[in-house]
Amino acid sequence: MPSQLPLDVSGLLSVWAETLVYGLYTSLFLETAFVTISKRRYKSLANKIIFASSFLLFCLITTHVGINLYRLLRGYVWLAADPGPASYFGDLSRWDNIAHDAINAVVTWIGDALMIYRCYIVWDKRIVVILLPLVLMAISIAANCVALHLFVRVGEGAIFADTLVHWMSTIYAVAFVQNTMTSGLIAFRLWRHERIANRIGGRSASTDGSQTSLMPVVRIIVESAGIYVVVVLILIILYAIDSNAQYIVQETFVPIVGIAFSLINLRIALHHEAVATRRTTMESMRWKMPSARNDTVGTTTTGLPESEYTSSLSTMQFPEVLPLRSRNLGTCEEEKDKIDSSVSLEPKVVIVHGAEAC
């Protein structure tokens, strides 16, 4: 094929691209680890599993990058004359090629297993929901094991041989279907909860002003998993047209799995922190809001001086103040009914002169 990318060029570009993406992944992993540890988000069993898995992924991906750097030195420095870079990278039976492909498979399995685990947790630990993803993962493990075994037996440059093409196509297709399915199940479950909450007034009835919507989490899951799915789709296309450029995508795929996983963890943690901050702010504002005043002592029931109390009222800029005279006051329930009937949609402050608040 005249337009085919040479193996020595694809081998060099694949290592360069992987180290570039690995740098991005390392920064994301360190930030995710810092947020997890500093905010003590690893106390629950689910968070412990996810945190331990993220650390294991980082170790495996780092090992994969190290093996590829070793392969780069062997192909272009130590064995540059004999057999040469093209022959070296085309030999699938070398131990370093088997090792780095095995790590590739294990990283994929861990990423798939974590998505299945998330789906299991979101769906209230219903086994029936994750049965099909588990079957697909078992197929992926079997296909990867067969492909690794065939790597030892096939000749040089036989990545597109008929004995391998069916297994490699199965691996990529299963990865695409499984991640699309698990991400869709998670997003659908969260979207359904959001819809039910809106229907019964769950979010609009929130009195602390915090954002309890699940839609930001849905977007995080879909966007982060979408990176993984798009890369797998590109890999399927390149392998289907027998392009050596698939080596470049295949090597960068390993740190991309870590990036997708870290993005989900980091963005969800930052989202929860932002929601907690808004909730704390609204709670503090509500506690500082004056509710009644005692004219006899010149101070408010909140313990603030009267000058500071009136100053705070003027800066809060409420649209209307409803004073109630101390005479002709009914029971507490009657006065509450009067207040409720007179209050419109705009917030108002009710000041009771010379009487106790109901």
pLDDT at residue number 265: 85
Q: How far apart are CA 201 and CA 209, in angstroms?
A: 14
Domain check: are 128 and 167 in the same one?
yes
Q: How far apart are CA 136 and CA 131, in angstroms?
A: 9
Domain presence at residue 86: yes
DSSP reduced 3-state for 321: strand
Of the CA atoms within 13 Å of residue 357, those in its CB half-sphere come to 13
The CATH number for 42's domain is: 1.20.1070
φ, ψ for residue 324, nearest 5 deg: -120, 125
Q: Worst-scoring range by mean pLDDT, 143-157, 210-224, 313-327?
A: 313-327
Task: Tell me what the pLDDT averaged over the chain comes to.
Answer: 79
Sequence-ordered strand ranges (E) for the chain: 293-294, 299-300, 321-324, 349-352
pLDDT at 74 over 90: yes
Domain presence at residue 2: no
pLDDT at residue number 322: 47
Domain check: are 45 and 192 in the same one?
yes
Q: What is the mean pLDDT of residues 225-251?
A: 93
**What is the bridge-based pairing of β-strands 321-324 and 299-300?**
unpaired
Domain presence at residue 358: no
Domain check: are 91 and 165 in the same one?
yes
Domain check: are 266 and 324 in the same one?
no
Domain presence at residue 357: no
Domain presence at residue 13: yes
Indicate the number of domains in the chain: 2
Domain presence at residue 182: yes
At 158, the pLDDT band (50, 70, 90 cuts) reads: confident
At 358, the pLDDT band (50, 70, 90 cuts) reads: very low
Phi/psi region, residue 110 (left: phi>0; alpha: psi -120 to 50; beta: rest), is alpha
pLDDT at 292 over 70: no
pLDDT at residue number 156: 66
Q: Worst-scoring range by mean pLDDT, 65-74, 166-175, 320-329?
A: 320-329
Domain check: are 181 and 314 in the same one?
no
174 vs 331, higher pLDDT: 174
Range of the domain at 39: 7-285
Highest mean pLDDT among 121-135, 210-224, 338-352: 121-135
Domain presence at residue 1: no
pLDDT at 232 over 80: yes
Domain check: are 176 and 322 in the same one?
no
pLDDT at 352 over 50: no
Domain check: are 146 and 205 in the same one?
yes
Q: What is the pLDDT of residues 28-40, one digit of tens each?
A: 999 999 988 887 7
Q: What is the pLDDT of residues 81-113, one digit of tens each?
A: 888 898 898 888 899 999 999 999 999 999 999
Domain check: are 320 and 274 in the same one?
no
Q: What is the mean pLDDT of residues 253-261?
A: 94
pLDDT at residue number 349: 39
305 vs 154, higher pLDDT: 154
pLDDT at residue number 279: 66
